[in-house]
Chain A
């Protein structure tokens, strides 16, 4: 019915098969008219937690569903990808979101099913007042490892760089660390913030800040920085030009059923994917 990936079983060799599955899933889902109608006459609760990049889409999907059917209540909490995976695995929530594919060990331990419904870039962000709008990957690594400490070395004004990063449970951090820093060091004096929203607030308020946020979260309050000449935008993420990108996943323990299943079907339906586009992410289909 929909894309179901067990990373433990299907590894890199299965990518072709996966995209085929995804295509098939989309075809089937789009065949049924109005995914939101499937909630008609139902009632109950869906509990969601985890990845903070997912929240705008989750909120909008929940709003649509709860407006169409007031008998359904959907609660959405953050906490980060690690929290989402853990809580869904322990049955505390119905859907645990993660901005990275859960590890083989996590899938194995909790019996998770993964549903990827969007692709998101992770962009470097600075304060809008900062004249530096482009960095090379080497410069970025030097900033994060503490080798470059002043904006003037990068063509900016003479002031110390404040480095912001996310906590270890963040999927955004995991992707940024792997794909932008090539698993390089992050200087120990870096400030830690706990969500994409908090990162945006911190960077928007600090003229000397550098941080990283989900492309879907970027707005006028922060300035996206081009990495090796490519700006982090939906278009460059979509075309694959901007490489610091990841899938956004919703995970369930075992096969989803009832409202949880309908919610995931809704995310993957044309209406759901429309929300994905509207919130600044790249749809999977």
Chain B
């Protein structure tokens, strides 16, 4: 009886694992097939380097690729110290009661829909950015979007960082204590190195969320179609571009070009994951 149950369980779990792996591959295949008219003609690579101006027959998405890169990278730059600081506080530097409260709050934050952040951004953050920096124009810019986005990705990063912290072998911590390390030394020399894999995973997940999010950038980055020159420039991400263009005529070239756009996002995301893993591994060896 238990043998049969085990066998069934194995099959069920294999199917679900295979299905989710297949889904990722299928999405990639789907994008390839639909983007093929552009890729096959060798046009794909010129699209990567061209501006977007459908009126003149230009369907490139260099500005959006730059927009996505700038906004997601900057949001991680803001979110990383914030998240790491929070986790250090929760993982030994702060009082346990407050840490538990903070933990619950962070978990609650992961559930806040992104449109709420976008909405808050329009009414609270954008006017502040506009008044602080006169060259920011409307206040809808990379800075506003990445600040808001860092709020969105921090809870994800905190949860993964905390998992990393919790996975550090307790005996090492005891050993450090026995050697007379204070809480800061314990954190820097024992916990942080041990938690490194969790930190790398957290950054990857955060980056993935930042790159994949559509609404915050759509609502407060301004969506201009030029290559941004500063963090106070209005910019459009690949995701908002897809959202904006998919509303246009299905038969238009503009619409067809967004498959290539999706492919670029997919590849960009994969590259970011690989890059972070590489960086993480090097650090781990030291």
Contacts and interface: CB of A to CB of B under 8 A. Distances in A.
Interface of A: 79-80, 82-83, 85-86, 103, 105-106, 109, 159-160, 162, 164, 167-169, 183, 185, 188-194, 201-202, 205-206, 208-209
Interface stretch (B20-28, B151-159, B240-248): B240-248
Tell which of A80, A109, A189 has the most Cβ of chain B within 10 Å.
A189
Nearest to A190: B224
Given A191-B224, A192-B222, A169 B138 contact: no
B236 interface: yes
Contacts of B37: none
B226 A206 contact: no
B85 interface: no
A105 B244 CA distance: 22
B251 A202 contact: no
A168 B254 contact: yes
Contacts of A80: 247
B182 interface: no
A206 B130 CA distance: 8
B218 interface: yes
Interface of B: 51-55, 63, 122, 126-127, 130, 134-135, 137-140, 218, 222-226, 233-234, 236, 244-245, 247-251, 254
A86 B63 CA distance: 27
B250 A86 contact: yes
Given A191-B140, A205-B127, A209-B138, A169 B247 contact: yes
A189 B53 CA distance: 12
Contact of A168 (B127, B140, B245, B251): B245
Contacts of B247: 79-80, 82-83, 167-169
Tell which of A164, A168, A190, A193 has the most Cβ of chain B within 10 Å.
A168
28 contacts: A82-B248, A85-B249, A86-B249, A86-B250, A109-B251, A167-B245, A167-B248, A168-B245, A169-B244, A169-B248, A183-B55, A185-B55, A188-B52, A188-B53, A188-B225, A189-B224, A189-B233, A191-B140, A191-B234, A192-B223, A193-B223, A201-B122, A202-B140, A205-B122, A205-B127, A206-B138, A206-B139, A208-B137
A83 B226 CA distance: 25
Interface of A is mostly: mixed
Contacts of B52: 188
Nearest to A82: B248
Contacts of B134: 159
A190 B135 CA distance: 14
Contact of A188 (B63, B138, B139, B140): B63
B224 A192 contact: yes
A55 to B, nearest CB: 15
Nearest to A170: B247
